């Protein structure tokens, strides 16, 4: 039976790696054929087929529930009920609307909405809203967070922004939101938001600085509800009843063991429901239920059985959970602990077990954090030695008891005040550790080196004395030392990143790196921090020889300060240096300046008679082996006319569309003089400026130009000097992604 359960799990997990989904008809027939024609001895294959078919059918249903293409970008009146826990930050209210109904077309079952400057929204309320609907999509960059996959796994079929709305019904059965409101209203020494994260799994109250500290110290799992919290509560209830029974304080007429097991599981399940019942919570509840069932029946249960059954239970309930990084980390961490502590001949002393557990989890998770594109905390093992018992034994029990007794005057509030103080003290220590050793973001490792590193981590998890165990260390170090592909001499690798309504282009030669513009910043949303810096690190860029900011507009220079803070930058140049955000110091764009890196030629130009910020854009020409790219910033037709009198007015293979394709740019004279074969457009989907303008697109089509649009194709990659076809991330098939449109 264990083999069948393992085959079922493999079938369910295979979904994550499929580029496209098999047809629905085939998925309905395959399990029947497997049951009818496969011999009994091959029953694991039938389990595998059933798991794969069930997972793919769920994916088909989820994709079918997405917003219809004809409704994308349209504004509709929608009625629905608010679910989950609404979040409010920087004047924006974000929440999910369930069972939305509109008179003009079917809507997805769940829509994620944003209301800028909107009123307070509570879970359980029913609203009538004027919503500008958008398809479920997000920015798509190399080795970055896949927002589209996350939306699919959450069952969200569309997003939207609210223009107007009216409340139809007050909140009903919104007990989680009511508890959160009471928690946030309590004086918790400035840590009410963190307590809400610990008790309810709602991280919206944590600041960006809090998340950074938790990430740098590898303690995110302590403030986001995990199986550890659920298991601790179940153990406390079980031990309480066992202790009462031992000292004769438990009623004699009630058998203590069934009650202890039942109440412990009820406590775990109740806390899970309170926390939103996410993947780690589901896994923990299934495993706790199996362990308690074994304890009740006094039957031997292999350590791997609870994990395997929990894996299958979670995936049968939601097969799409496997596309989320948290799913893999949750199960791999438990698997590492089971593998480490089970089957050993001698027992460790408790302090040895505790300290070794932290180091072994760090070793076991290291390759998985890297393949999932997540930072690796170097201070995590030491930070967790303190943080885990502090949260588990001091903060969590106090916070839960305080929440339970909130209705009792002074008692509940006093306990939460104490829990907030304990949590604040822990954060003070973690901030020191985070400043001492920040998290490490590794460049992408070749898959062969990663597999060897995984085998090395498994060797290191084995008991001492196992032959060849010491080889695990050099195998694991391949994560750091593995050779990575280099840009050939005379070639320039170009990445136009997907940063929405803005621009950021990375230019790399064999030994140098240049960033042209740094992505936008709108309010507190800094795409330099969220996209540009993480992608640069993943691509192996550790320093910038030049950051060239075309001009000072926020959609081009918004992320410059963040980039300069995160990476060493040898030189900053801008067409509008005095208007850049302080304290960034830049040199003026020296029109006519040329230089060469690794066989690749660079040249700058700026219009001397520019009258506004857009016209001051510093233009960069990159030439490799006779193939040219022109990056133009936001110049308009007047600056284009002046550029035609400069040395840069030569045949250009790749043109970055001036000013995102606005009507005031890309004049016909400019396009005919440069004679590009393709244009690159960096813009936000359905942006408020209407970029690119239909008249500009008509010119591109008239000249037969290939258009590479970040809103449609994600990040775009060129190998300048190799005369190759461009590539985009949407060309990489994933069943949850829309296919890349044909180039216009």
Q: State what percent of residues in the chain have pLDDT above 70.
A: 96
CA distance 148 to 483: 31
Answer whether residue 343 shows pLDDT above 70.
Answer: no
Q: What is the pLDDT of residue 31?
A: 85
CB 663 within 8 A of CB 638: no
CB 54 within 8 A of CB 319: yes
Q: What is the pLDDT of residues 569-622, one digit of tens each?
A: 999 999 999 999 888 899 999 999 999 999 999 999 999 999 999 999 999 999
**pLDDT confidence band for 462 (50 / 70 / 90):** confident
Answer whether residue 230 shows pLDDT above 90.
Answer: no
Answer whether residue 344 shows pLDDT above 70.
Answer: no
Phi, psi torsion values for 145, nearest 5 degrees: -60, 130
**pLDDT confidence band for 287 (50 / 70 / 90):** confident
Answer whether residue 719 shows pLDDT above 80.
Answer: yes
For residue 334, the surrounding DSSP H or E stretch is helix 325-341
Q: What is the pLDDT of residue 300?
A: 59
Q: What is the pLDDT of residues 496-520, one digit of tens each?
A: 999 999 999 999 999 999 999 999 9
Q: What is the pLDDT of residue 103?
A: 86
3-state class (DSSP) for residue 606: coil
Cα-based angle 624, 643, 681 (whole degrees, multiple of 5): 65
3-state class (DSSP) for residue 554: helix
Second-level CATH architecture of 492-731? 4-Layer Sandwich (3.60)
Alpha helices in 628-727 (DSSP H): 637-643, 668-674, 694-702, 710-713
CA distance 679 to 707: 5
**pLDDT confidence band for 297 (50 / 70 / 90):** confident
Q: What is the pLDDT of residues 120-144, one digit of tens each?
A: 899 999 999 999 999 988 899 998 9
The radius of gyration computed from the CA coordinates of the chain, to the nearest angstrom, equals: 29
CA distance 641 to 654: 18
The predicted model gives 157-184 an average pLDDT of 91
Answer whether residue 418 shows pLDDT above 60.
Answer: yes
Q: What is the pLDDT of residues 661-702, one digit of tens each?
A: 999 999 999 999 999 999 999 999 888 899 999 999 999 999
Q: What is the pLDDT of residue 518?
A: 96
Q: Taking the CB of residue 198, how many other CB atoms lie within 10 A of it?
A: 26
The predicted model gives 703-709 an average pLDDT of 96
CA distance 225 to 277: 9
Q: What is the pLDDT of residue 740?
A: 62
Q: What is the pLDDT of residue 569?
A: 97
Residues in the chain: 744
CB hemisphere CA count around 496 (13 angstroms): 32
**pLDDT confidence band for 39 (50 / 70 / 90):** confident
Q: What is the pLDDT of residue 394?
A: 92
pTM higher than 0.85, yes or no?
Answer: yes
**pLDDT confidence band for 742 (50 / 70 / 90):** low
Answer whether residue 406 shows pLDDT above 80.
Answer: yes
CA distance 352 to 348: 6
**pLDDT confidence band for 352 (50 / 70 / 90):** low
From the list 445, 513, 454, 536, the residue with the least C-alpha distance to 485 is 445
Answer whether residue 414 shows pLDDT above 90.
Answer: yes
Q: What is the pLDDT of residues 613-650, one digit of tens each?
A: 999 999 999 999 999 999 999 999 999 999 999 999 99
For residue 6, the surrounding DSSP H or E stretch is helix 2-14
Answer whether residue 24 shows pLDDT above 90.
Answer: yes
Out of 285-299, 356-370, 539-553, least confident range: 285-299
Alpha helices in 485-592 (DSSP H): 527, 533-538, 554-557, 560-566
Answer whether residue 468 shows pLDDT above 90.
Answer: no
Average pLDDT, the chain: 90
Q: What would the two tokens of residue 365 be?
A: 């998770």
Q: What is the DSSP string of 183-242?
A: HHHS--TT-HHHHHHHHH--GGGS-HHHHHHHHHTT-HHHHS--HHHHHHHHHHHHHHHH
The predicted model gives 239-257 an average pLDDT of 89
CB 41 within 8 A of CB 3: no
CB hemisphere CA count around 685 (13 angstroms): 20
Give the residue extent of every domain in the chain: 2-64, 71-173, 175-218+377-440, 226-343, 447-481, 492-731
Q: What is the pLDDT of residues 544-564, one digit of tens each?
A: 999 999 999 999 999 999 999
Please state whether the peptide bond connecting residue 583 to the residue before it is cis, i.e. omega within 30 degrees of 0: yes
Q: What is the pLDDT of residue 203?
A: 84
The fold of the 71-173 domain, in CATH, is: OB fold (Dihydrolipoamide Acetyltransferase, E2P) (2.40.50)
Question: 353 or 496: whose pLDDT is higher?
Answer: 496
CA distance 194 to 204: 9
CA distance 136 to 39: 43
Question: 296 or 681: whose pLDDT is higher?
Answer: 681
Q: What would the two tokens of residue 250 be?
A: 């438990």
Answer whether residue 173 shows pLDDT above 90.
Answer: no
Q: What is the pLDDT of residue 744?
A: 52
Question: 293 or 668: whose pLDDT is higher?
Answer: 668
């Amino acid at each position: 039976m264990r083999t069948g359960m393992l085959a079922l799990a493999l079938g369910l997990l295979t979904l994550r790696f499929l580029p496209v989904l098999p047809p629905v008809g085939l998925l309905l027939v395959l399990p029947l054929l497997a049951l009818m024609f496969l011999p009994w001895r091959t029953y694991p294959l039938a389990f595998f087929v059933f798991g794969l078919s069930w997972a793919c059918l769920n994916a088909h249903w989820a994709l079918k529930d997405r917003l219809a293409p004809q409704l994308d970008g349209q504004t509709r009146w929608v009625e629905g009920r608010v679910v989950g826990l609404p979040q409010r930050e920087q004047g924006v209210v974000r929440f999910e609307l369930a069972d939305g109904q509109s008179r003009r077309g079917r809507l997805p079952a769940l829509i994620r909405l944003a209301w800028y400057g909107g009123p307070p929204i509570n879970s359980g309320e029913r609203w009538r809203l004027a919503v500008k609907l958008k398809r479920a999509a997000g920015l798509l960059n190399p080795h970055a967070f896949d927002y589209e996959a996350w939306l699919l796994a959450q069952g969200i079929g569309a997003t939207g922004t609210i223009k107007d709305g009216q409340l139809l019904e007050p909140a009903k059965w919104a007990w989680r939101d009511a508890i959160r409101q009471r928690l946030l209203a309590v004086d918790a020494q400035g840590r009410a938001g963190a307590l809400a994260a610990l008790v309810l799994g709602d991280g919206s109250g944590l600041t960006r600085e809090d998340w950074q500290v938790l990430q740098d110290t590898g303690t995110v799992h302590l403030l986001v509800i995990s199986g550890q919290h659920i298991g601790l509560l179940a153990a406390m209830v079980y031990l309480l009843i066992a202790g009462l029974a031992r000292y004769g304080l438990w009623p004699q007429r009630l058998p203590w063991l069934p009650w202890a097991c039942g109440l412990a599981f009820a406590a775990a399940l109740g806390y899970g429901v309170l926390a939103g019942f996410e993947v780690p919570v589901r896994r923990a509840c299934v495993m706790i239920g199996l362990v308690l069932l074994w304890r009740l029946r006094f039957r031997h249960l292999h350590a791997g059985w609870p994990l395997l059954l929990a894996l299958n239970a979670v995936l049968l309930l939601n097969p799409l959970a496997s596309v989320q990084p948290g799913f893999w980390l949750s199960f791999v961490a438990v698997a590492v602990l089971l593998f480490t502590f089970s089957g050993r001949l001698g027992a460790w002393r408790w302090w040895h077990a505790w300290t070794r557990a932290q180091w072994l989890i760090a070793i076991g998770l290291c390759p998985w954090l890297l393949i999932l594109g997540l930072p690796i905390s170097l201070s995590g093992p030491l930070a967790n030695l303190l943080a885990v018992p502090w949260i588990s034994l001091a903060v969590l029990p106090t916070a839960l008891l305080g929440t339970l007794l909130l209705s009792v005057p002074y008692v509940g509030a006093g306990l939460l005040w104490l829990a907030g103080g304990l949590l604040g003290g822990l954060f003070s220590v973690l901030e020191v550790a985070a400043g001492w050793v920040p998290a490490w973001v590794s460049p992408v490792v070749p898959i062969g080196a990663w597999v060897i590193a995984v085998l090395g981590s498994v060797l290191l998890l084995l008991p001492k004395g196992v032959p060849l165990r010491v080889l695990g260390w050099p195998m694991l170090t391949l994560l750091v030392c593995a050779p990575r592909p280099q840009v050939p001499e005379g070639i320039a690798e170009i990445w136009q990143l997907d940063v929405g309504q803005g621009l950021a282009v990375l230019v790399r030669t064999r030994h140098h790196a240049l960033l042209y513009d740094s992505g936008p910043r709108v309010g507190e949303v800094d795409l330099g921090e969220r996209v540009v810096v993480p992608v640069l690190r993943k691509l192996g860029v550790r320093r910038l020889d030049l950051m060239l900011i075309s001009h000072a507009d926020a959609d081009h220079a918004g992320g410059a300060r963040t980039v300069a803070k995160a990476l060493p930058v040898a030189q900053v140049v801008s067409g509008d240096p005095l208007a850049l955000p302080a304290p960034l110091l830049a040199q003026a764009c020296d029109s006519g300046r040329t230089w060469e890196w690794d066989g690749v030629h660079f040249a700058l130009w700026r219009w001397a008679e520019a009258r506004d910020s857009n016209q001051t854009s510093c233009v960069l020409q990159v030439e490799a082996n006779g193939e040219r790219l022109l990056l133009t910033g936001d110049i308009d037709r007047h600056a284009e006319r002046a550029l035609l009198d400069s040395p840069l007015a030569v045949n250009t293979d790749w043109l970055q569309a001036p000013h995102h394709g606005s009507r005031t740019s890309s004049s016909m004279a400019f396009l005919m003089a440069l004679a590009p074969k393709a244009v690159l457009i960096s813009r936000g989907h359905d942006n408020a400026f209407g970029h690119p303008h239909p008249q500009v697109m008509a010119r591109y089509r008239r000249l037969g130009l290939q258009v590479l649009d970040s809103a449609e194709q994600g990040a775009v990659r060129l190998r300048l000097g190799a005369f190759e076809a461009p590539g985009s991330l949407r060309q990489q098939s994933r069943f949850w992604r829309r296919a890349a449109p044909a180039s216009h």
